[in-house]
Each structure stands twice: as structure tokens, then as C-alpha cells.
Amino acid sequence: MTSVNSISWLIGGPQGSGVDSAANIFAKTCAKEGFHIFGKREFYSNIKGEHSYFTIRISDKPVNSHLEEINVLVSFDAETVFRHADKVSAGGMIIYDSSLAETVLEEVPTIDFEASNRIRKLLQDSGQSVNLNGMLEFAKSRGCMVYGLPYFEMLETVAQKMNDPKLSKISRVVNVMAISASISLLGIKKDMLINAIQEVFGSKPKLLASNIEAAEYAYSYIGTKYDTKNIKYKITPKDALKDYLLLSGSQAAAIGKIVAGCRFQTYYPITPASDESEFLESNQIIDKVDGKSGSIVVVQTEDEIAAITMAIGASLTGVRTATATSGPGFSLMAEALGWAGMNEVPLVVTMYQRAGPSTGLPTRHEQSDLLFAINAGHGEFPKIVLASGDIEESFYDAIKAFNFAEIFQLPVIHLLDKAISSSIQTCKRFSNDLKIERGEFKNTIDKNQSEGAAGHFQRFKLDDSPISTRVPIGTENAIFWNTGDEHTEEGHISEDPENRNKMMDKRMKKLDVALEKINQDDMAICHDFDSDGNNVVVSWGSTKGAILEALEKLSEEGNKMKFVQIRLLHPFPTETVKKFLKDAKLVIDVEMNYTSQLGSLVQQNTGREIDYKIVKYNGRPISTTELYIALKAILSGNHERRIVLDGGT
């Protein structure tokens, strides 16, 4: 028995069967044991029945990406084994329902035709029968250990123990039995599991009791039924993680909004953006440092056009305002974005990308809306596009997004994605030491400050600075007008050519000011691996975790590379990126889209060609494993200029 410091664990099951809560219990259990967690959730656009799964990586170092290989596969249906058993590593473990051993592949209706064909071929090629037993035999032939659990019988025993015959019909505790078995096999103490179950089901006493009973029973069942001495993957507890959170990206962004002072948010239901709004609504009463309370109003609108226009209307009253959406909704918001740009209205649009075009893969991941976000809306107007690289950045960037929106008086698009929003990670507890910067925002105006035509306040004053004094509508002595038409300093319609040029210059100049004022770390970060700077990976957004880990591994092998993470995508931080790429021998662009959108931006702005493009667009986030292999192939000089990754189930 050796103890390991990193394990890749996966639980699968039909949607609606408690896969998520089981994974959360497992993650909490391991976090309590002192491990860092990264969890990735995959699910269909479906309410009940289709295959969903949750991969959890536990590690003694901070971890922010997933691997292709699985060390522990936890299942309570046949489909999970059929779909994932071939990824289980030698020495890895598979927990399955022993009563399903004879299940024939064709009997599982939710395995679609393409997947079914792949699995059948795999089994036939390896001489196995096309049923669950065949799959398990195949796994065993590759060195995996398999552990059958008769869930139904176990449920009956638990029901008897609890003197509750109805319990045997409730299959919900099966998920907890499954994870409990895995925890037993991994050598994790039972107490931590029980604590985690108490945290998850604490408010529901009946559920809590049955889940604990089931967990205890499954935990000891493994011990009595199986010899666990020769298990390759045993983990030993680490020092407790002090002041760490376990949370998802949508939660991090929502909490960031609360700190930022966002007090009005609109949304129309869409995957994967709605989670954030629902979290905000659940926390609508906000504690304040003075002991009093504040609140955020969250409005569900009739569509995304209403969501953004309602948010703009609210922003005019001075409140920090946001809307959250995904690609299809963002498409509908494009026109209003221009109105906000034209009228210099601060607004944050939190955009959770998913796989497009059209409905695309609505529950899957992609980073294909970068150029769209930058170019959204007709005509030319200033906006800021900022992309976070992980869950922790999502929190801090949410705050920065509001500062940018108010300092520069324009719409800010905060780009996140499905991989960030629905993944979970252990993060250092957030600090709220960022400042609230509101730029030229004022609540009162002296009477004599209104100096425009007819003594009106000049909301769009043409001055040395392109950023004018901004007041909420309702402020005395500051009546102004807004219009989507080109306008005068007071905001009245004007088609005068000279005024047009001045106003265009005023608005567009704000992009130059943004590049002067935004901190370099918010533009781009160069993750140096003590490299000589010859080989550079450029990327943006949620690929960060996989890139950092792949580069770390390459660095340990003597292949030192840099990673330039571009965070400010518009206006493009040309000088900063140029500086980072100055001595690059190879520039490798990594992105979750077909056309290497960041690559074109880099080329267009810096003039530096991209040497290699690594792309992925099958809806599944890039794993460290596949990225490492691709980078290694490039370094060996042995690959095409464009590599398409295809990992994931």
C-alpha cells in the first residue's frame, strides 16, 4: 500500500438521481481531510434520466483542472460503467451495482447510437461480451479492481435497521452508499464523511438519518466483504485547509457582485448563467459592516432584451447594475449594449459562455464568444471585455468589472464560461480589500454647474477628459437627456457633422484612458516557469488551470515554458502582450473554440504570428492530460500547426 497525493474520482448516474449531491459530499469529505478539490460537472440538456457525471480531483496541492484518467469510478447504474470504465487507470477501482452485471449494452436506452457503437467496438475488439460484465472484465484485464455492491439488498438491510420499510424503495440513498464505499476503499476515516453528510442534509432530519445509516452500512460492507490491503490508491489525511472555501464559479461571481455593491440584477433563465442570479436572490438581504442590512433586487424578465434594457434603466438611477446571460441571450442584448455605450451608462454583463452556435450544446463548455463579445452591437462604441481564468478570479473580477464600468462609464462584459460556472474548487477565503471606485459619479450638483444651452447640465461635456460628471436621474440641477441618436452635450439629438466627430472622439478615447489606467495584472499575466522565454503559451479564460498544470509538468521535465494569460481582451493590451512575447521562439495559442479567436487578436494587435494553435470544440473542457500531450508533441517538433483536442465523455 502506498499513499498517493492526487486522485481523480468520478461518479455518474442518471440526471436527477443525486449525482451532484453525492459528489458534493465526497468533495467536502476530502476537503475536510485537508485536500484541495477541483470538481467538474457534466450533464445533458435534460431534467431526468440522461447520463450526468461529476469528476472530482483531490490533491495535496491546489488544483484547477481535470485529467483524462480516472482512479476511482463510482457508479450505481450500468451506463456509468459503460461510458467511463475504459478511462480507469491500472490499479484504479470501479464500484458498481452487482445486480446489473448481466446488463446488455443495448438495454441502456440513454446511451446514444454513437456512444453505443464506440463501446460495442471496444468490447468486441478486446474479445469481451457486450454487457456490463464484459466491460468489467475489460477493465480488469487492464489492471483495474472492481467492487460489486448489491445496492438493493443493502437498501433492504438499511431499511430493516431503521425500521422503515419504505426506505428500501427510496433509491436516493444509493448515491451515498456508493460514495461511502469509495471513501472506505480510499482509506478515509468515516467521521469526515458523516460530518459532510450532516452539513449537506443537516436541515432535513429524516433524510439525514437515513443517509447516515446507509453511509455507515456501505462503509463497513466494503471492509467485511473485500480485502482492501492491496489497494493502490490510499490517501492519508493532510493538515486541515485553513480558511478555504469550496464553491462554484457562479457562486464566486455572485459573491463578488455583492461586495461590489451590485444592488440590481436582471436575468432571463438560461444555462449556465441562471445559477448566479438564483444565488443572488437567495442572498438578497445583505449584511453590512455597520450591522444594518442592505439588499439586492433580482428581477426575472420576459426575455434578455428586457433583461439588459431594464438593467440600463436601473443603472440610470445610480445603482450598480448587472445582468447575467449566456450566448443566445447575449445575442439578443447586442442592440441595447450599443445604447449603453452611446449614453455612457455603466453596466456589467456577466456572460457565461457555452457551446454555440444557436442552441449548440446548451449544457456544455466552449470559449467561442470572444470576438462576438468584443464586437457585439452595431456601430462603434467603447466597451470593456474582461475574462477570468478561474473561480477565484471570478470573484475579484466581478468587483473590478463594476469599477471599470463606473470609472470609464461604459458597458463591461465579464466573460466567464460553463467550465468556471459549474465547476467547484477549493479557494483561499475571499478578502474584500478591493476598493469601490466610482469615477466621476456624483449625487449632487450645484446650481451654477449647469452651464449648457438654456442652463442645462452637460452630461456629455466636451472637455479635456472624455469622462464626464455622471449623476443619477432624479438629481436636482442636473436634468439631462439620453438618446440612442447622436447627441449634444445636454443629450439632445444632433446630426451636426462637427458635433458627431467630437462625440465619437470623446466616447472612443475612453478606451485609451482605460489602457492607461487599468493595472497591468488585470490586462495580462505572465506565468513564468523560470523559463528563458523561448516558448510561450497564450490563452484566456478557464483554460488557465489545465495550462498551468501541464506547464508545471513540462517544466519538471526540463521543458520550461511561459504562459501569458490575457485577461483584458478589449481594449487589447497590445504593449503588455508585445512585451511578454518579445523574445518568444514559439507562440502556442490554446483555446476552446474552432477559429483560435484570441490567436487572431494577438496577431492583429501585436503583429506576432501564432506558431501553433491548440483548439477544442467538442463541448468538454481541456484536460491537463491532453494539453500536456499536445504541447509535448509540439516541443518535439513533430506536429501539425493546428491540433484539435478531442478528450472527454
Partner 1 sequence: MAELRLADYKTTVHNDWCPGCGDFGILNAIQMALSEMQIPRHKAVIFSGIGCSGKTPHFINVYGIHTLHGRVLPFAQGAKIANPDLEIIAVGGDGDGLGIGAGHFVGAGRKNVDIPYLIFNNAVYGLTKGQASPTLRLGEKTKSLVTPNTSNSVNPIALALVSGFTFIARSYSYDVKHLKDTIKRAITHKGLAFVDVLQPCPTYDDIHTREWYQGIDKQETGKAMPRIYKIEETGYDGTIKDESEINEKMTRILQFSSEWGNKIPVGIFYQNELIPSYHERIAENNKEYFAKPPSHQEISDNKNNPIAKIDKILDKLQIKD
Separation CA 236–CA 93 (nearest Å): 17
Query: Measured from the CB atom, is 168 or 403 closer to partner 1?
Result: 403
Q: In angstroms, what is the minimal distance from the CB of 430 to partner 1?
A: 7
Angstrom CA distances, 469 to 12, 35, 420, 513, 584, stand at: 55, 50, 36, 16, 44
Cα 376 to Cα 266, 277, 315, 385: the distances in Å are 19, 23, 20, 11
Q: Three cell numbers at 308? A: 439588459
Q: How far is the CB of 638 from partner 1 (least distance, A)?
A: 44
Min separation Cβ 219 and partner 1, Å: 20
Query: Shortest gap between Cβ of 376 and partner 1 (angstroms)?
Result: 15
- Residue closer to partner 1, measured from CB, 430 or 628: 430
To partner 1, the closest distance from the beta carbon of 523 in angstroms equals 22
As measured in angstroms, the least distance from the Cβ of 151 to partner 1 is 29
Q: How, if at all, do strands 320-325 and 347-353 pair? A: parallel
CB of 294 to partner 1, least distance (A): 5
Q: Which residue has the cell 502506498?
A: 2
Measured CA to CA, the distance from residue 393 to residue 252 in angstroms comes to 8
Measured from the CB of residue 259, what is the shortest distance to partner 1 in angstroms?
A: 5
Nearer to partner 1 by Cβ, of 177 and 280: the residue is 280
Nearer of residues 260 and 551 to partner 1, judged by Cβ: 260
Q: Which of 157, 300 has the CB closer to partner 1?
A: 300
Q: Which is nearer to partner 1, 126 or 432 (CB)?
A: 432
Q: In whole angstroms, how close is the CB of 204 to partner 1 at the nearest point?
A: 16
Cβ atoms < 10 Å from Cβ of 46? 14
| DSSP string over 329-390 | HHHHHHHHHHHHHHTT--EEEEEEE-B-STT-BTTS-----HHHHHH-SSS----EEEE--S
Compare residues 457 and 540 and give the one whose CB is closer to partner 1.
457
DSSP-derived 3-state class of residue 575: helix
Burial 76-93 (b: 16+ CB within 10 A, else e): bbbbbbbbbbbbbbeebb
DSSP-assigned letter for residue 596: -
Query: What is the smallest separation between the CB atom of 403 and partner 1, expressed in angstroms?
Result: 10
Helices (H), 535-617: 544-556, 574-581, 597-606
Write out the three cell numbers for 77: 447504474
Closer residue to partner 1, CB minimum distance, 16 or 294: 294
Instruction: Name the residue nearer to partner 1 (CB basis): 433 or 464.
Output: 433
Query: Considering beta carbons, is residue 229 or 429 the nearer one to partner 1?
Result: 429
Angle between helices 274-282 and 249-260 (to 10 degrees): 50
CB nearer to partner 1: pick between 226 and 441 = 441
Annotate 231-284 with DSSP letters as a single string.
Answer: -S-B----SPPTTEEEEEHHHHHHHHHHHHTEEEEEE---TTTHHHHHHHHHT-
- At residue 190, the 3 state secondary structure works out as helix
Cβ at position 58, least distance to partner 1 in Å: 12
Q: In the bound complex, what is the minimum distance in angstroms from residue 516's beta carbon to partner 1?
A: 20
Pair type for strands 384-387 and 568-570:
antiparallel
In the three-class reduction of DSSP (H, G, I as helix; E, B as strand; rest coil), residue 540 is classed as coil
Nearest distance from C-beta of residue 45 to partner 1, angstroms: 24
Shortest distance in whole angstroms from residue 251 CB to partner 1 = 7
Report the residue number, 297 or 635, with the smaller CB distance to partner 1: 297
Residue from 181, 111, 103 nearest 148 by CA: 181
Chain length of the chain: 649
Minimum CB distance to partner 1 smaller for 87 or for 320 = 320
Burial of residue 137 (CB within 10 Å: 0-12, 13-18, 19+) is middle
Nearer to partner 1, 162 or 347 (CB): 347
Residues with Cβ < 8 Å from 234, sequence gap 6 or more?
1, 2, 3, 4, 186, 187
Distance CA 74, CA 84 (A): 10
First to last CA, the chain: 31
**Cα–Cα distance between 431 and 453 in angstroms, integer?**
47
Contact indicator for 343, 482 with CB cutoff of 8 Å: yes
